[in-house]
Amino acid sequence: MKKMNLFFAGVFFLLLSFSANAQDNTGSDFFAGKWNLLVSGTPNGDIKMIINLERKEGKLGGTIEIVDYETLNISKVDEKEASITFYFNAMDHDLNIYLEKKDENHVSGSQMDMFDVKGERMTNKITEAVNTQSGATGEAYFIGKWDILAKGLPQGDTRMVVNIEKKEGKLTGNLSDPANPDGLMEFTSITIKDTFCTAVFVAQGMDIPLNIIKKDERNITGDIMGMFNIEGSRAN
């Protein structure tokens, strides 16, 4: 193509901005989003918590939801290229948790340099309650064309079309800009399980996961790279 359309230009811009601080996604913005954490071996036993980290006015902050306890505010976050330390107060004790990237969707670290911490990005899981006992699930649901709106990309909210097919027993498909249907990004892999689908495409040599979750019989939600929310509906 002589001219790159706006959507794909935005994807490349996004990837270039991610690689400004490192060759892969190791900057502190890697940690933005929701994480399931398990703190092991504390005097109160193993503790499960959900961390929600957001960047506002240039600073990373958020909340900690301790399962079966309460939600706490994070008072401060120290950021480094491939790790963060966040601080909070629980039961009148000043505590901190250190996290470092393990892979694209997992972290590890410690609480107070004493108790091991392991975590998983929540976007890898089905985060919405869907009644799988009724209606289509699995391949029968996701195969077809979907009109999707991706929110918060560098070029702004962007519409795209996802096409998933099954040929010779293998799932295949592509991602396209509806304004330029000839400009396709082929999926290198598609994984479907129940009400969850992950389709991966390559841009600038990086694998970009598109996570799609069934919302109802005609509508979906999800994210790109665990960072940018998407919503969509089955194409007519």
Q: Please report, for the domain that includes residue 74, its CATH number.
A: 2.40.128.120
The domain of 32 spans: 27-124
Q: Are residues 110 and 148 in the same domain?
A: no
Residue 73 pLDDT more than 90?
yes
**What pLDDT is stored for residue 200 in this prediction?**
92
Q: How far is CA 144 from CA 139, 152, 158, 233, 236, in A?
A: 9, 25, 20, 11, 10
- Listed residues 88, 103, 124: the one ending a domain: 124
Are 141 and 224 contained in the same domain? yes
Q: Sort 93 into a burial class: Cβ within 10 Å, 0-12 / 13-18 / 19+.
A: exposed
Assess if residue 17 is contained within a domain: no
Q: Does the residue 9 lie in any domain?
A: no
Q: Are residues 44 and 90 in the same domain?
A: yes
Query: Under 8 Å CB-to-CB from 222, ≥6 apart: which residues?
Result: 210, 211, 212, 213, 229, 230
How many Å apart are CA 100 and CA 42, to the nearest integer? Answer: 20
- The winner for highest mean pLDDT among 121-125, 175-179, 209-213, 222-226 is 209-213
103 pLDDT higher than 60: yes
Position 64 pLDDT exceeds 90:
yes
Tell me which of 3 and 217 has the higher pLDDT. 217
Q: Return the pLDDT at 126.
A: 42
- pLDDT tens-digit map of 149-184: 998 877 788 899 999 999 988 999 999 888 776 678
The answer to whether residue 16 sits within a structural domain is no
Query: Residue 175 belongs to a domain with what CATH number?
Result: 2.40.128
pTM over 0.75: no
* pLDDT for position 2: 38
Q: How many domains does the chain have?
A: 2
Q: Examine the fold and report which residue of 65, 95, 124 is the final residue of a domain before the chain moves on.
A: 124
Shared-domain flag, residues 153 and 111: no
Q: Give the domain-ending residue among 75, 91, 124.
A: 124
Q: What is the DSSP letter of 236?
A: -
Q: Could you give the CA distance from residue 163 to residue 160 in angstroms, rounded to a whole number?
A: 10
Q: How confident is the model at residue 12, as a pLDDT?
A: 55
Note whether 183 and 142 are same-domain residues.
yes
pLDDT score, position 138: 85
On whether both 86 and 37 belong to a single domain, the answer is yes
Model pLDDT, residue 45: 87
Quote the pLDDT of residue 178.
80
pLDDT-derived band at 11, boundaries 50, 70, 90: low
Residues 38, 118, single domain; the answer is yes
For residue 137, pLDDT over 80 is answered with no
Residue 107 lies in a domain: yes
Best-predicted range by mean pLDDT among 98-102, 182-186, 221-225? 98-102
Residue 129 DSSP SS3: coil
